[in-house]
């Protein structure tokens, strides 16, 4: 298990100080990868570098994307953090549940903006949602505090001696980029047959489609059938 497989993805972070503090937290536990999605401050800037203290290398090697879809292309498992459970189609886990995650895969922890957190649309890209237990009457955590709690827990898990995860060498796990390509193919074919009626329901239908493909409990045979149907439709329509 390598810490290089772990990404911390900040979606639309608003404050330079929080970005810098997150970089510092990442380095505290010897992780490497900070990913930013459409940050509000100019990135990088002097305030971010100053707040990061000795973690300037984390800032300099970080990746910046314009949307969640691009940010998770090379991630196998996305875990979205949220103060409340809103999407019933995505498995919800607590901190203890992180012990069951296969960290041999590329895992990304997705954090929402300080003001509004993650929307249902952004959460629909996740395989799991994760809630950090807090005071029920005051659930809000600072962005860097949430990140450092998760970083410490994951760091501890990776240090444990666990039985090697065995899987068939014949099976290749699809990347998020490959899954998204399949979703886009489905979406195009559905639009070709004017499936999205009424049009205002298109966003929620798209969220449900992502939930099917990103849910690890969806039987592989169903995914294969959907893929074969869409390929055939594209070839022969």
When comparing pLDDT for 228 and 10, which is higher? 10
Print the SS3 string covering 129-182: EECCCCECCECCCCHHHHHHHHHHHHHHHHHCCCCCCCCCCCCCCCCHHHHHHH
Reduced to 3 states, what is the DSSP secondary structure of residue 217? coil
- What's the pLDDT score for residue 165? 52
Residue 164 pLDDT > 60: no
Residue 104 pLDDT > 80: yes
pLDDT band, very low/low/confident/very high, at 88 (cuts 50, 70, 90): low
Distance from C-alpha of 146 to C-alpha of 23, rounded to nearest angstrom: 13
Q: In 204-225, which positions are buried (b, 16+ CB within 10 angstroms) versus exposed (e)?
A: eebbebbbebbeeeeeeeebee
> Which residues, in sequence order, are CB contacts of 205 under 8 Å at separation 6+?
196
Cβ 120 vs Cβ 157: under 8 Å: no
Distance from C-alpha of 227 to C-alpha of 123, rounded to nearest angstrom: 23
For the chain, the average pLDDT equals 84
Question: How do residues 184-235 score in pLDDT, each as one tens digit?
Answer: 877 777 777 777 777 787 788 778 777 777 766 555 555 565 555 555 555 5
Distance from C-alpha of 21 to C-alpha of 39, rounded to nearest angstrom: 15
Q: pTM for the whole thing? A: 0.72
Domains within the chain, CATH numbers bracketed: 3-159 (3.40.1280.10), 176-236 (no CATH)
pLDDT band, very low/low/confident/very high, at 161 (cuts 50, 70, 90): very low
Check residue 115 and report its DSSP letter.
Answer: T
Residue among 140, 133, 111, 121 at smallest CA distance from 26: 111
Residue 126 pLDDT > 90: yes
Residue 141 pLDDT > 70: yes
Cβ 83 vs Cβ 146: under 8 Å: no
Question: How do residues 20-51 score in pLDDT, each as one tens digit?
Answer: 999 999 999 999 999 999 999 999 999 999 99
- What's the pLDDT score for residue 125? 93
């Amino acid at each position: 298990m390598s810490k290089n497989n772990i990404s911390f993805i900040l979606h639309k972070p608003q404050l330079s100080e929080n970005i810098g503090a997150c970089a510092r937290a990442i380095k505290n536990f010897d992780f490497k990868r900070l990913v930013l999605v459409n940050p509000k401050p100019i990135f990088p800037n002097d305030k971010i570098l100053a707040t990061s203290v000795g973690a300037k290398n984390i800032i300099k090697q970080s990746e910046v994307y314009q949307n969640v879809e691009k940010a998770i292309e090379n991630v196998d498992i996305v875990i979205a953090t949220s103060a409340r459970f809103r999407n019933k189609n995505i498995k919800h886990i607590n901190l203890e549940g992180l012990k069951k995650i296969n960290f041999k895969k590329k895992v990304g922890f997705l954090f929402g903006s300080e003001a509004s957190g993650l929307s249902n649309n952004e959460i629909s890209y996740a395989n799991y949602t994760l809630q950090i237990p807090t005071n029920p009457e005051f659930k809000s955590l600072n962005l860097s505090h949430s990140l450092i709690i998760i970083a410490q827990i994951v760091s501890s898990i990776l240090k444990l001696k666990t039985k090697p995860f065995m899987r068939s060498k014949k099976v290749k796990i699809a990347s998020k980029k490959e899954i998204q390509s399949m979703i886009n193919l489905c979406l195009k074919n559905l639009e070709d047959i004017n499936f999205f009626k009424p049009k205002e329901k298109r966003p929620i239908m798209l969220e449900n489609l992502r939930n099917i493909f990103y849910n690890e409990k969806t039987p592989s045979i169903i995914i294969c059938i959907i893929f074969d149907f869409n390929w055939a439709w594209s070839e022969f329509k």
